[in-house]
Amino acid sequence: MGEYASGNNDSQMQSIRRDPVKTDFQIYPIGFIEKSNDITEIIISSTFTDALLGLDSFSHIHVIYWFHQNDTPEKRKILRVHPRKNKQNPLTGVFATHSPVRPNLLAMSICRILSIKSNRIRIHEIDAHHGSPVMDIKCYIPPQKPLQNIHLPDWV
Amino acid sequence: MGEYASGNNDSQMQSIRRDPVKTDFQIYPIGFIEKSNDITEIIISSTFTDALLGLDSFSHIHVIYWFHQNDTPEKRKILRVHPRKNKQNPLTGVFATHSPVRPNLLAMSICRILSIKSNRIRIHEIDAHHGSPVMDIKCYIPPQKPLQNIHLPDWV
For the entire predicted model, the pTM comes to 0.87
Q: Which residues pair with B118 in a beta bridge?
A: none
ipTM of the complex: 0.87
Contact across the interface for B138 and A97, Cβ inside 8 Å: yes
What pLDDT digit, counting tens, does each position of B61-115 carry?
A: 999 999 999 999 999 999 999 999 999 999 999 999 999 999 999 999 999 999 9
Q: Which of B39, B156, B133, B68 is nearest to A7 (CA)?
A: B133
Sign of the C-alpha dihedral, residues A65, B76, B70, A137?
Answer: positive
As to burial, measured by CB atoms within 10 angstroms (0-12 exposed, 13-18 middle, 19+ buried), residue A145 is exposed
- Residue A140 contacts B, CB cutoff 8 Å: yes
Q: Kindly tell me if the per-residue pLDDT of A76 is higher than 50.
A: yes
Report, as an integer, the average pLDDT of A19-47: 89
Binning pLDDT at 50, 70 and 90, where does residue B145 land? confident
pLDDT at B20: 54
Contact across the interface for B108 and A64, Cβ inside 8 Å: yes
Architecture of domain A32-67+107-141: Beta Barrel (2.40)
pLDDT at A145: 86
The 3-state secondary structure of chain A, one letter per residue = CHHHHHHHHCHHHHHHCCCCCCCCEEECCCEEEEEECCEEEEEECHHHHHHHCCHHHCCEEEEEEECHHHCCCCHHHCCEECHHHCCCCCCEEHHHCCCCCCCCCEEEEEEEEEEEECCEEEECCCCCCCCCEEEEEEECCCCCCCCCCCCCCCCC
What pLDDT digit, counting tens, does each position of B112-135 carry?
A: 999 999 999 999 999 999 999 999
Residue ranges per domain, chain B?
A: 32-67+107-141, 70-104
Q: Which residue has the higher pLDDT, B10 or B38?
A: B38
- Residue B19 contacts A, CB cutoff 8 Å: yes
What are the chain A neighbours of B40 within 8 Å (beta carbons)?
none
- Residue A108 contacts B, CB cutoff 8 Å: yes
Q: Can you tell me whether residue B56 is helix, strand or coil? A: helix
What pLDDT digit, counting tens, does each position of B31-53 carry?
A: 999 999 899 999 999 999 999 99
What pLDDT digit, counting tens, does each position of A86-131 carry?
A: 999 999 999 999 999 999 999 999 999 999 999 999 999 999 999 9
Residues 6+ apart with CB under 8 A from A49: A118, A119
